[in-house]
């Protein structure tokens, strides 16, 4: 499943990013270095993360405003590889349903609490 996420650049404009939903990624968003550079995101901090294979690596973590479902939120953006990834932290407060078959569909809906 691919998600369109709007990320605010350093100049205040928003830019669409087409990201693959990665249910194994616990963060908000991971972007390739070229996109991070193009957006002019604020200088990073370094964080040690554990990858799916159990190895630990240090990654650069940026902060960026992301427009998601009609709301702006300050999010962590990691520089972890060549593909844009949306993680489960981005979906906190939402319900994800997926048909896990070739050509299956998926949906994301806000959770509603009484």
Taking only the tens place, the pLDDT of each residue in 17-64 is 999 999 889 899 999 999 999 999 987 899 998 887 889 989 999 999
CA distance 98 to 60: 31
Bridge partners, residue 3, by sequence: 19
Where do the domains of the chain lie? Answer: 2-110
Q: What is the pTM of this model?
A: 0.86
User: What pLDDT score does 56 carry?
Assistant: 92
Decide yes or no: CATH 3.30.750.24 for domain 2-110.
no
Q: Is the pLDDT of residue 13 over 90?
A: yes
Q: How many CB atoms lie within 10 A of CB 59?
A: 17
Q: What is the enclosing helix (H) or strand (E) of 50?
A: strand 45-50
Burial class of residue 39 in the structure, from the number of CB atoms within 10 Å of its CB (0-12 exposed, 13-18 middle, 19+ buried): buried
Taking only the tens place, the pLDDT of each residue in 72-95 is 999 999 998 899 999 999 999 999
CA distance 20 to 4: 9
User: What pLDDT score does 69 carry?
Assistant: 87
């Amino acid at each position: 499943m691919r998600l369109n996420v709007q990320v605010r650049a350093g100049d205040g404009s928003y830019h669409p990013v087409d990201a693959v939903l990665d249910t194994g990624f616990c963060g908000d968003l991971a972007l390739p270095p070229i996109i991070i550079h193009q957006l002019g995101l604020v200088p990073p901090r370094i964080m040690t993360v554990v990858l799916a294979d159990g190895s630990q690596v240090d990654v650069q973590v940026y902060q960026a405003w992301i427009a998601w479902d009609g709301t702006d939120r300050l999010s962590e953006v990691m520089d972890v590889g060549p593909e844009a990834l949306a993680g489960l932290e981005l979906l906190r407060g939402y319900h994800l349903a997926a048909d896990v078959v070739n050509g299956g569909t998926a949906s994301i809906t806000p959770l509603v609490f009484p």
